[in-house]
Structure 1
Amino acid sequence: MALKCDNCGAPMSLVAGQDYFFCEYCYSFHFQGESNADGVVLIDEEGKLPCPVCESTLLPASLELERVLFCKKCKGMLLKRRSFVKVVEQRRAGYTGRKLRTKKRLREEELTRKTACPLCGKAMLTHPYYGPGDVIIDNCIDCNMIWLDDGELTIIERSQD
């Protein structure tokens, strides 16, 4: 399902390297709104893969100019490991607010959660994020993908080293 232009009804295209759409027929722009606490922007295309947490369909989205898959139901996101590194570096470098102090109080129920990679179907590894923040992430080693629950990126961004 392509995004239709509000002005002329023509299909719009996602601008490469940007978080907005452009209509080649009437030259108008469309900016999507944020979809979760971490600033994910839906790009209005159909999704095909299941969410590893709630099994809803993951939707294509953008985050800091990186493509991600986003779940509208549980607000989590799946992204490439390389994209995760870029996004974390950008967000931490750009954050000027007060830093959070976390003490790695890990919740046992999160560590025992079982998730399957939406790409290959294999079990994802669930473990503490080894950087700043009290966050538990899931990743697929074979596919180089990382799953973040809603708000976890913001915790990583705002936590002290």
Structure 2
Amino acid sequence: MKAEFSDLPIVCPHCTHRNVDLSRMVPVDGLEPVYPLEGESCPRCESEFWAGVLDGAPIKFCKVCQGILISHGDFGTLIRTRRADFHGREMKPKPFQPEELKERCICPDCHQVMECYPYYGPGNAIIDSCENCDWVWLDGSELNCLIASPGLRPVS
């Protein structure tokens, strides 16, 4: 997939390095860092992984690429709650590129390849999940995009 910020592919086909435009990353509101997770690294960029809390849910996240690891149940609750409470300007989702489905993320807990698939709710995002550990991985800014995408919003 070609990134808007450059002509570099998001993932290099030769070395699998992931090119990330950190200037476009928008931090997730309400994410509270708790402590660094010794011996655990981000499944995308291999930077230090952190434990955190997001809307009361325990998460793991990366301060560098802004990726978030959250349980399936907490992910569903977070999306429903934040979409219902969203009052900002909706962002038209950009179509995802089929190449994104070829990227693989390794679960930081069981070290198995996570399943990669399109998110089936409002917005266009490719999410990764681990059936063994019940984790969902969201790349940086994907949560914000899903929340701000047009579509049916639950009543809060």
Q: How does the TM-score come out when normalised to structure 1?
A: 0.72
Equivalent residue for 1:84, pick from 52, 65, 75: 75
Give the root-mean-square deviation of aligned CA atoms. 1.7
Return the offset for 1:46: 2.8
Q: Does 1:97 align with 2:88?
A: yes
**1:56 corresponds to:** 47
**1:10 corresponds to:** none
> Within 2, Cα distance between the matches of 1:67 and 1:74?
19
Return the offset for 1:96: 1.0
Q: Does 1:157 align with 2:147?
A: yes
Q: Does 1:42 align with 2:33?
A: yes
Q: Does 1:74 align with 2:65?
A: yes
C-alpha deviations, 1:20-46, integer Å up to 9, x for none?
xxxxxxxxxxxxxxx952222212x23
Amino acid at match of 1:42: P
Q: Report if aligned partners of 2:93, 2:145 keep a CA contact under 8 Å in 1.
A: no
Q: Any idea what SS the aligned residue of 2:36 has? A: coil
> Within 2, Cα distance between the matches of 1:73 and 1:158?
22
> Within 2, Cα distance between the matches of 1:90 and 1:113?
29
Count of matched residue pairs: 125
**2:100 corresponds to:** 110
**2:8 corresponds to:** none
Structure 1 pair 76/119, CA: closer, same or farther in 2 (3 Å)? same
Return the offset for 1:140: 0.5
Q: Which range moved further: 120-129 or 92-101?
A: 92-101
| Percent of paired sites with the same residue | 34
**2:113 corresponds to:** 123
**2:5 corresponds to:** none
Q: Any idea what SS the aligned residue of 2:63 has? A: coil
> Within 2, Cα distance between the matches of 1:36 and 1:42?
16
Q: How does the TM-score come out when normalised to structure 2?
A: 0.74
Q: Give 5+ residue unaligned stretches, structure 2.
A: 1-24, 152-156
Q: Report if aligned partners of 2:59, 2:69 keep a CA contact under 8 Å in 1.
A: yes
